[in-house]
Structure 1
Amino acid sequence: MTIGILTCISIPTTAFADIHGEYPSGEILSFGSDLSDSQEAQLRKYFKAPDNIEAIYVDSKMALKQFGLDEKELANFTGGWYSSAYVKLLQKENGVTVNSSNLTLVTNDMLANALITSGILNAEVTASAPFEVTGESALAGILAGAENIMGGELSTSNKKAAQEEIDVSLDLAEEIGDTEASAIINEVKTAVIKDKPSNEEEIKEIIEKVEKKYDVDISATIQNNMVTLMSNINDLDLDYSKLKDTLDKSASKFKDEMEALGKELKDSGFFDKLFSWISEFFSSLFN
């Protein structure tokens, strides 16, 4: 009788993207709350979104909620709320693509990387503002829009790591360039999610290996920040098998971007490749 009762009980569930990357498809507009009516109309025209599409408005209160921040941390979001986005959540195996205009600091790749960390694995995002802005507040609106489509909230820990990832990416970009920074963050993150290092020293070894591959010099300060970021991502216990396709699509995109810049990556040695192949072979047997 107990089994029968439990079977008949309807338990509401929410498909959380940070667990399986599974969520309903849909689209939404996310506008900065400081936009004037004419600026909003300008952006609606730029996004070419349907007239009847739902819209949300992002302000400081929403950003605090998104990243689990304290009010005193609002100082990190300056200049008003103007960054806006047209967010589409897609079916599986599309990956994450971001296109933007008037964002002068945060790049498309940084936003795409951060969305993957947050748990959004298949999406198409167009971000913009009525004039040039840094774009540091753009992530809050994109995530809020995604959650509205899903009908549930992503993990705050994932979202905080995503925002931290953008901050570290910006610092790294100042040293080695935008494309290189995003490519390295993606590659290190992929290795951390896949290999699940047991301590920060192992994370540092992964960073140094990727640093050598890209033939760049990362300062000790930035490297330490990367270790902290990747340690936090490691603590999220993300399932590599669920993220692999999306991460691979990003890696392929970064490879093309590096080649377009005329930069050839240093290939790993023969024994590194052999060891990697053997590890993957026995891992597949075990699985």
Structure 2
Amino acid sequence: MKRITWMLIVVTFIGLAIAPFALASDGDDNVIDEKYGKPKLVLGEALSDSQKDTVRNLLNATNPDQVDEYTVTAEDLVNYIGGDPGSNMYSSAKITRKDDGGVVVNVVNPENITEVTNEMYANALLTAGVENAVIEVASPLKVSGHSALTGIYKAFNVDGESLDQDRMEVANEELDVATDLAEDAGIDKEKVSELLSEIKREISEKNPATKEDVERIVSEQLDQLNIELSPEDREMLTNLFERMRDLNIDFGKVTDQLESIVGDLKGKLDEVTGGDTEGFWQSVKDFFQNLLDSIRGLFN
């Protein structure tokens, strides 16, 4: 009897610990920001009706009163980045504007977005000029993930707003370069994102005046991160950042937002773990193992 009473107390404690987070989540989902309006849901044109319903569920956007819904088409791909008019658009996104916090990207079902990571999206979107937004990406079937970028552009080009055409195009090129380096050159995706971020940081600090200066920064960062690239891939990377330099993108602002994203996530984790991430997760594992052992003991 004492064991049962103890177990009830533990279960009640767990419920009380989880409840505030669940309640907070429910409340946030139902609040419309009067400054920016409803979140924008952008669905790929090639999706069937049932696939669109799947995406709405994945992105928690089933209530039409809580989101503004759009469809991203091959025509949008042509208009925003000069893409292929015969492309099929599958990957979709929900965009929630914020006053601050930088760009936070979450691929909700990464098993279906095969080439593009959260960090790759964030890097490209900051290059395109997107600021302060929570962006969720999903697809009901396996796709590369590239078309989601055009859908996000569309969400930022409605209601009288507009992103710079040249920046959107070079951001799309950046995403292509990132996925090419990961797929063709065999570099870890996280390492690719780190490389792109560090090159941006160096360009912000050194303000290169020539293509040769950009090439030097690229080479230094490749050496720093112990990444080996073919001469062709080095040239591809240099040309990408040379084009960005020509557009006079404020890399300092871009880098600050990236650092803010990483810093916020690390800060939240440190608050929970006290800075001891490994020890925290081990204690969680031990707690639930002990809980399971206790439950088994009730029946022995």
Q: Normalising by structure 2, what TM-score? A: 0.69
Partner of 1:127, secondary structure, is strand
Give the 5 Å matches for 1:92-103: 92=100, 94-100=101-107, 101=109, 102-103=112-113
* Amino acid of the structure 2 residue aligned with 1:88: T
Q: Is the 8 A contact 2:200 2:255 kept in 1?
A: no
SS in 2 for 1:55: strand
Mapped to 2, the partners of 1:181 and 1:252 lie a distance apart of: 19
Cα shift at 1:216? 1.5
Q: Please tell me the residue identity of whatever aligns with 1:154.
A: L
Tell me what 2:20 maps to: none
**Contact 2:201–2:252, Cα closer than 8 Å, also in 1:** no
Maintained 8 Å contact 1:87/1:126: yes
1:46 partner amino acid:
L
Change (3 A) 1:136 1:241: closer
Matches within 5 A, 1:129-148: 129-148=139-158
- Code of the aligned partner of 1:57: T
Q: Quote the Cα distance in structure 1 between the aligned partners of 2:138 and 2:205.
A: 33
Structure 1: give runs of 5+ residues left out of the alignment.
Answer: 1-23, 257-287
Matching of residue 51 in structure 1 with residue 64 in structure 2: yes
Other structure's SS at 2:53 match: helix
User: Is the 1:193–1:238 Cα contact (8 Å) retained in structure 2?
Assistant: no
Letter in 2 for 1:161: V
Runs of 4+ more than 4 Å apart: 250-256
TM-score by length of 1: 0.72
Deviation of 1:253 (Å): 8.6
Is the Cα–Cα contact under 8 Å of residues 89 and 146 in structure 1 kept in the other structure? Answer: no
Q: Shift of residue 153 of structure 1?
A: 1.3
- Per the alignment, in what secondary structure is the counterpart of residue 158 of structure 2? helix
Retained in 2: the 8 A contact 1:87–1:125? yes
Taking the TM superposition and a 5 Å limit, the aligned residue runs for 1:27-106 are 27-49=39-61, 50-52=63-65, 53-67=67-81, 69=82, 73-74=84-85, 77=87, 80-92=88-100, 94-100=101-107, 101=109, 102-106=112-116
Amino acid at match of 1:60: A
The equivalences for 1:225-236 within 5 A come to: 225-236=236-247
Cα contact 2:55–2:139 (8 A) shared by 1 = yes
**Partner residue, 1:193:** 204
- Deviation sequence 1:61-102 (CA, Å, 0-9, x none): 0111111x16xx446x4xx2111111112112x121211121
Local SS of the residue matching 1:217: coil
Aligned counterpart, 2:129: 119
In 1: Cα distance, 2:255 partner to 2:248 partner: 14
Per-residue Cα deviation, 1:125-153 (whole angstroms, up to 9, x for no partner): 1111111111121100011112225x321
CA apart distance, 1:57: 0.4
The root-mean-square deviation of aligned C-alpha atoms, in Å, is 2.2
Greater relative contact order structure (CA < 8 Å, 6+ sep):
1
Is 2:253 aligned against 1:205? no
Paired residues in the alignment total: 225
CA distance in 1, matches of 2:75, 2:182: 29
Query: What amino acid is aligned across from residue 33 of structure 1 in structure 2?
Result: E
Question: Aligned equivalents of 1:214 and 1:155: distance in 2?
Answer: 32
Would you say the 8 A contact 1:139–1:163 is kept in 2? yes
- CA shift at 1:183, angstroms? 0.9
Counterpart CA distance in 2 for 1:60 and 1:95 is 28
What's the offset of the Cα at 1:110?
1.0
* Conservation of the 8 A alpha-carbon contact between 1:171 and 1:222: no
